[in-house]
Chains A and B, each alone.
Chain A
Amino acid sequence: MAHLTPTPVLEPGQDRTMILNMGPQHPSTHGVLRVLLEIDGETVVRMMPDIGYLHTGIEKTCEAKFYQQVVPLTDRIDYLCPMTNNLCYVLAVEKLLGLEIPPKAQWLRVLLNELTRINSHLVWLGTHAMDIGALTVFLYCFREREEILKIFEMASGQRMMTSYFRVGGIALEPPLGFFDRVREFAGYFPSKVDEYENLLTGNPIWGMRTKGVARMTADDAIALGASGPTLRGSGVDFDLRRDMPYSSYEKFQFKVPVSQEGDVFARYMCRVQELRESTAIVRQALDGMPEGPIKADAPGIVLPDREKMKTQMEALIYHFKIITEGFAVPAGEVYQAVESPRGEMGYYVVSDGTAKPYRVHMRAACLANLQTLPKMCEGRLLADVVAAIGSIDIVLGEIDR
């Protein structure tokens, strides 16, 4: 944040250029991103993103909470993929504890994570297309997103801030009819993706606004720390789900979409194909869902079932202790990364042996992806800036934390 006056940041070298301030309340910046642009006519000479408007100090807050109290905070980092954040955090703490998670919980986590990915990509597709001028797509995408949010509400009681995962498993057994509803959704969703593609992929206006725009080479993408579809759109075949699997992803078959061109269209194609792949993973998760418990057998860490709490003294004591004192985590440090819809989301958790984390750091995929923006836009037209911002799919809540 900062730079209330743009002068010290961008000093116009010649009289030809002018400085344009875009944001922080610009509708195409998806939140509160401010971009300083030095332009020569319609051409961007220099570009500088300015962030920090949503900084809430979540990392600092985490240090004052018990381990289980951090879970709701992680939802609020990236409000489009709460489950991915939940997953990454609980995996990190479970690794610190050395806790084994039952297969059913792992598969449920995969299923919900892929639904989250679809949800996030739908918001991205709708808003990105709207920025570029295709308004219809937005309405189509939000129609399907609504169904996913209802599925989330069914499972967790919340549409957006789900906080559904717990250290050691999952909060509650999904209700009756949950799997049928997911199956129904996974059945008709591919035809909806066809609808989006009918509207956009072959559309000449869409092509002119996206093909060859905001190009980035693979070397630049790696050097700048880009990940996720932003990296794969530049031809780097790397996906944490396949290459460094977590939470049983190694048991699923899916393709990792890669495009070579490195432009806005390539990143669009990657994400649209991911929609289809994610639906396939959801179907596999439904078909192969193992039976068994959804929580690990770790009495001092996992809250006991409500029924046991009312009938067994020990369970009641454990419940009381977890709620009032938390649970101690052996000293150590862990970096756990998962593939979020935007790229490599990593949690670095340091424990000093007490019930509160000593340090929680989130590696925000968007923060690194945002650095690629000047590379994409400098030397190009001003109108392409909007397309480029949309194509890296930023969520400012995650960038600023």
Chain B
Amino acid sequence: MALVPAITDLQELKNHPAVARLLGWNAEAVTGAKFDRDEMTIYVERDHIREACVVLKEDSACPFNFLSDVTCVDWYPSEPRFEVIYHLLSIPAKERVRLKVRLNSSSPVVESVTPVWPGANYFEREVFDLFGIRFTGHPYLRRILMPEDWEGHPLRKDYPVEGYR
């Protein structure tokens, strides 16, 4: 199982069902794709993430009907600093796909996908709590793991591991 170099050319990947579906819907919403270690990653424009999720969820051939996970990675100090990551699973087709949205540190705001999957609620609250990403349209965006009066977002890379003392 030697490592195969990642494919990052969108043209080469356009036949993958999820990529093809998104390109067919709105080619401008897809900014890139990556196929690495048997996993498909699609970069989606920030303003289109909720619609992209709806499109993938309602695809008839391969409906990505299950939201496995929402999380975030902080690439401090580079910009765009944050990557919000959605792991989608298709229960009927047994396929996975990863959607990514890149956010600048100046406005870490993205649309919530809770209208598409109510199950995104806690995951997005967790990302808000630990990274300070704001999800517009979220029904109850408050801290979930840290105390309500906590200052700062612990999983950001500029937050020390041992905390502020």
Cα(A343)–Cα(B61), bound, Å? 26
Q: CB distance B119 to A224 under 8 Å? A: yes
CB neighbours of A310 from chain B (8 A): none
B149 to A, closest residue via Cβ = A2
Check: A339 CB closer than 8 A to any chain B CB: no
Check: A171 CB closer than 8 A to any chain B CB: no
Indicate the member of A52, A330, A371 with the most B CB atoms within 10 Å.
Answer: A52
Query: Given A59-B155, A63-B161, A335-B96, do A98 and B69 touch, yes or no (CB 8 Å)?
Result: no
Q: Categorize the interface residue count of chain A.
A: 35 or more
A95 partner, pick from B6, B37, B87, beta carbons under 8 A: B37
A-B contact count (CB 8 A): 112
B146 partner, pick from A55, A100, A344, beta carbons under 8 A: A55
Q: CB distance A2 to B143 under 8 Å? A: yes
Cα(A1)–Cα(B154), bound, Å? 15
Check: A359 CB closer than 8 A to any chain B CB: yes
Cα(A358)–Cα(B83), bound, Å? 13
CB neighbours of B37 from chain A (8 A): 95-96, 98, 332, 334
Query: Given A330-B3, A368-B119, do A64 and B145 touch, yes or no (CB 8 Å)?
Result: no
Q: CB distance B117 to A225 under 8 Å? A: yes
Cα(A61)–Cα(B121), bound, Å? 25
Interface code A139-158, partner B: CB below 8 Å = 1, 0 otherwise?
00000000000000000000
Interface residues of B in 125-140 (CB under 8 A from A): 126, 130
Check: B147 CB closer than 8 A to any chain A CB: yes
Query: Given A61-B161, A98-B2, A346-B68, do A225 and B119 touch, yes or no (CB 8 Å)?
Result: yes
Q: CB distance B71 to A348 under 8 Å? A: yes
Interface residues of A in 100-114 (CB under 8 A from B): 100
Q: CB distance B145 to A346 under 8 Å? A: no
Q: CB distance B87 to A1 under 8 Å? A: no
**Known contacts A59-B155, A236-B91; can you find 15 more A-B pairs with CB under 8 A?**
A1-B144, A2-B148, A2-B149, A4-B148, A55-B145, A57-B154, A60-B155, A97-B3, A222-B65, A222-B91, A225-B119, A330-B3, A333-B36, A350-B73, A363-B68
Report 24 cross-chain contacts, Cβ distance below 8 Å, ordered by A residue.
A1-B143, A1-B148, A52-B143, A52-B147, A59-B155, A60-B155, A64-B161, A96-B37, A98-B2, A223-B118, A224-B118, A225-B119, A225-B123, A243-B94, A332-B6, A333-B39, A337-B68, A346-B87, A348-B69, A350-B73, A358-B73, A361-B69, A368-B122, A371-B119
